[in-house]
Structure 1
Amino acid sequence: MQSLQVSYNKQLDEIRQTRKKINTMLDEIEKTTIKELDAEMTTLKASLKTDLDNCSKLKNELKHLSDAIHDIVDKSKAELSFIASKKCLEKIRQSETYLKENSVQAERLVTFQADTHIKQFVPTLSALGRIVLGDQDQVFTVQEKSEYNVSIPSDSSSCAISAICVLSNDQILVADNNNCCVKLLDQQYQVIGHCDLNADPSNICQITPSKVAITVNKGKTHEVQFVSVNVGRLVKGRKLQFEHLCCGIAHDQKDLYLTTSTALNKYSMNGDLLTTLHDDTSGDYTGKTMVDISRYYLKVIYNFPTL
């Protein structure tokens, strides 16, 4: 009961933190929108000020011409009056043209058009997430899942990834069982190299930062193939041959651990059998497909179904 309450409190806090994160994101969106509004307003004010200054200038020029015409008329100078009238008419034309071209600018309004995607999306949400019941002994939880295409032009079938290994430089090796090859991926999960094998790969384990061992099986072929990674290229090295299926594989302290269809064996790096750690002959496939090895213990972690 206590652990249940602890998990409840933890998830309640997670829900509230999620809400806070959403609020923070909305606050940032609001700030950005207001910033755009302020920038647009500043631009419009500057433009309107320029128009007002130009209008004041035209008004003053027209007033000066008007005063000059009145002075000339009073002095009965017909020729000067004609010239001044022409200049005045030209200035009036310029003023009318300017006012006509800028009348729209003077009547502009700032409007806000809300993003309809947000308004339409939020009502479709019924909750901030899903409530999932889990096992208290569960160690790992899937946070997200992504799909990547690791097919290459030479593939004859769709990909079937049977094993994966992450190297020390964060490059990734995947075993493609359907196409009898191992593929090297970069950190963006793009295929940058591959190596064809003479049988179907089952599992991979890392031997050194740049070398792996791969179990392969096909017909009567049961092998461990060593492959090195050299500047983005995969190079096949030596291989060990066995009379039994090579399923799971692990490496620890210069020894190899191999699972067969029924047993878990310990071998030297030369393929010599050192000891059989477990053997269950009650069925054809009682062995394990994967082996987890640390410094202090060895654990077999997946059963074949008994046929």
Structure 2
Amino acid sequence: MIAIVLCFRQCTGVTQISECSREQLVDTNQLSLNIQSILPQLKSLQNNQEIRIKSLQKSYREHEQIVIEQMRQMINSMLGKSEKEHEQEELSLKIHLVVADFEKSALKEITNEVTFVKDSIARSITKCTRLQNDLSQLHDSIQKIGDNKELCFIACMKCEQKLQQALTDLGKAGNVFTVKGKSAHTVKISNDSHLCTITACCALQDGRVLVLDESNKKVKLVDQQYQVVSQCDVTAYPLDMCLTTSNEVAVAVDNIIDTHEIQFIEVNQHQLQTGRKLQFQHKCICVAHNQGDLFICSYTALYKYSLGGKLVSRLFVDPSGCAVSPIGDKLYIVDHFKHKLLTLASDGTVLATLTDPGLRGPSCVHVTPAGQVLVCGHKSRTIVQVDSKNSRKLITLATAMDDVWNPFSVCYSSTSSSFIVGQWRNNTILVIKVE
């Protein structure tokens, strides 16, 4: 691939291309091998996305039934408290009206969300199919070109573009970030009792950011100027969160003793609204979501659940943080106590391990929409970018020299091209501009 780029820079026209030596042109055999390597991966991605659609539909159907059943139980409870017959009849009429409105609004909203995600996955499948067809045709053409240097060069350039598109779709073409600047912004508000500890951040599509303040047991909404504009309380310590839809997050809430919950919170215009809860017997210290699947870490295991709270599988032991690749084929697991970052296949098989002396006490892993992997080193006071495939450190993006003192969380905002760092016992978030 490097050879073709060098040749392209040296050549300014077809006449000059013909003067390039055979060694300067791309090895077509190697290009053919690259295509043959990519094609089954694209097919696997397509199959995986088709499975995701089925899983998503099943998960949301289950979610609908749970929400409806909860309302029915509430209604039955209300009816049971009414002793007089005429009161029951009046209450029953009101309840039927409430249920009718609910089914038209809440369930319709869920259905619309499923349709949106399903359409997005369907577009990805169509793109995969098109890329497979294009690469297959180019592969056949390369075999027939022979020694025609001009045709070889043109075909190779087209292959390069298609391969790059394929790598991007597979989440393997993420560029290394370059830091352009930084700024700090306070997230402490007047009724906070303690110094803010930001255990998690989530960037919304419009540039706003949700942050968890563990010390004050709050979820806070920060606008595009990084000012807190809304907040809501939670019942225990909010330890982690992830987006489940474009305007809803699942928050891992735990007090280590008897409260182990996932609390769903929605951003409704400029306000935060609490929704349903899932309660568990095990601890909930980390949560990640991918197309209808919830991945929840306790201190002893990684569990996979449906959005309705149904256990699907137990995947791994001893995790203290996790994130999922954009297409759901990889899980990234932080082992804080053993100072490791592990890359797992979707079935829990360990694919790669990163142990780096410059990354002591990893506290958080975050995957960008393009598949780039960011890791916080709490004890080493660093933010690093890691290769998504081989789990090797690519670059240290920020250190204590950049005011990173106790990093506990990081997320990337595509809207502002920056990543947001939350720190322990520090009233500010650090916004680092990158490109």
TM-score of the aligned structures, taking structure 1 as reference length: 0.51
Distance (Å, rounded) in 2 between the aligned partners of 1:292 and 1:162: 18
| Residue in structure 1 matching 2:217, options 164, 167, 180 | 180
List per-residue Cα deviations over 1:225-279 (Å, max 9, x = no partner).
Answer: 0000111100000011111111221111211111111211110111111111112
Distance (Å, rounded) in 1 between the aligned partners of 2:297 and 2:249: 17
1:168 and 2:200 aligned: no
| Residue in structure 2 matching 1:212, options 249, 274, 286 | 249
Q: Which runs of 5+ in 1 are unaligned?
A: 3-136, 280-285
1:262 and 2:262 aligned: no
Shift of 1:138: 9.4
SS of aligned partner of 1:146: strand
Please name the residue that 2:125 is paired with. Answer: none
Shift of 1:301: 3.7
Distance (Å, rounded) in 2 between the aligned partners of 1:245 and 1:142: 36
| Residue in structure 2 matching 1:223, options 241, 256, 261 | 261
Distance (Å, rounded) in 2 between the aligned partners of 1:264 and 1:203: 14
Please name the residue that 1:305 is paired with. Answer: 337
Shift of 1:290: 2.6
Shift of 1:298: 2.3
Distance (Å, rounded) in 1 between the aligned partners of 2:253 and 2:176: 31
Distance (Å, rounded) in 1 between the aligned partners of 2:283 and 2:240: 12
Distance (Å, rounded) in 1 between the aligned partners of 2:183 and 2:316: 37
Give the 5 Å matches for 1:65-144. 139-144=176-181
List per-residue Cα deviations over 1:202-238 (Å, max 9, x = no partner).
Answer: 1110011111100011132111000001111000000
SS of aligned partner of 1:266: strand
| Residue in structure 2 matching 1:276, options 301, 307, 314 | 314
Distance (Å, rounded) in 1 between the aligned partners of 2:175 and 2:298: 28
Give the 5 Å matches for 1:43-58. none
TM-score of the aligned structures, taking structure 2 as reference length: 0.36
List per-residue Cα deviations over 1:179-211 (Å, max 9, x = no partner).
Answer: 000000100000000010001111110011111
Shift of 1:294: 2.0
Shift of 1:288: 2.7
| Residue in structure 1 matching 2:326, options 280, 294, 307 | 294
Q: Which runs of 5+ in 2 are unaligned?
A: 3-173, 340-435
Give the 5 Å matches for 1:33-52. none
Higher relative contact order (CA 8 A, sep 6+): 2
SS of aligned partner of 1:251: strand
Amino acid at match of 2:291: Q
Asked if the contact 2:290/2:324 (under 8 Å) is kept, the reply is no
Distance (Å, rounded) in 1 between the aligned partners of 2:273 and 2:324: 26
Amino acid at match of 1:154: N
Aligned residues between the structures: 167
| Residue in structure 2 matching 1:240, options 260, 267, 278 | 278
SS of aligned partner of 2:188: coil
